[in-house]
Amino acid sequence: MNIRILVLLAAAALLTGCASGPIAKHQASVTNIQALRVADVGAASVGEFKLAPTAKPSIDRSISVRGSQLSSPNDKSFALYLKDSLLTELQAAGKYDAASPTVITGQLTENELNAAGFSSANAVLGAKFAVARGGRTLFEKTLRQESTWESSFVSAVAIPEAINQYTEMYTRLLAKLFADDEFKQALKPD
């Protein structure tokens, strides 16, 4: 085989770096665990998480990163990935009780990843969270997390970085929720 063809094939492999499939399961953050542990809140259960009625169904199924399709490991639903991320954080902090009358629910409102650029990339994640007890809504708020980072021309570098930045947004969005004074007030035991 001609050396030029080998060089071109190697360069093409380096530049594409395609990876399709589910993202990794959420790992609890030490910062979030500490925030929950020091807050004067009771344990809560986690209820339904779904796509917001006004959101496009496609944002719940997959995101695209330079031609690679990424999905949630949770029945291919990013709303369920957010639910499991919350559950993971609550369990790690000792603030989860499946029998608790205080229930946290949510709706995925935004889910975007733009890593097509060669110098920078960005992502947006948004959700409407609610806390209810005894049929009474105690908290309801839409939170949004945006992130921008330096990208690379080389897809084999840009794609893993985009995936890392994207999955970190779930940690950051939940950090905003845990820091919210109204949320913490809603989780205080009666």
- pTM for the whole structure: 0.84
Give the Cβ contact number of residue 154 at 10 Å.
14
Burial class from Cβ neighbours inside 10 Å (0-12, 13-18, 19+) for residue 157 reads middle
Residue 89, CA distances (Å) to 32, 37, 46, 114, 174 in order: 7, 11, 11, 27, 9
CA atoms within 13 A on the CB side of 16: 11
For residue 17, the model assigns a pLDDT of: 43
Spatial distance between the Cα atoms of 86 and 21, rounded to a whole number of angstroms: 22
Please report, for the chain, the start and end positions of each structural domain, with discontinuous segments joined by +: 18-187
Q: What is the pLDDT at residue 29?
A: 95
Query: Which secondary structure element, helix H or strand E, spans residue 75, and what is its range?
Result: none
Predicted pLDDT at 5: 43
pLDDT at 20: 61
Residues 6+ apart with CB under 8 A from 165: 121, 123, 147, 149
- Contacts for 37 with CB less than 8 Å, ≥ 6 apart: 93, 94, 95
Q: Say yes or no: domain 18-187 is CATH 3.40.50.10610.
A: yes
Separation of alpha carbons 129 and 103, rounded Å: 10
CA dihedral over 177, 179, 183, 189, signed as positive or negative: positive
Query: For each successive 10 residues of the chain (190 residues), what is the average pLDDT?
Result: 43 44 88 94 97 95 75 86 97 97 98 74 91 96 86 60 82 97 93
Helix (H, G, I), strand (E, B) or coil at 17: coil
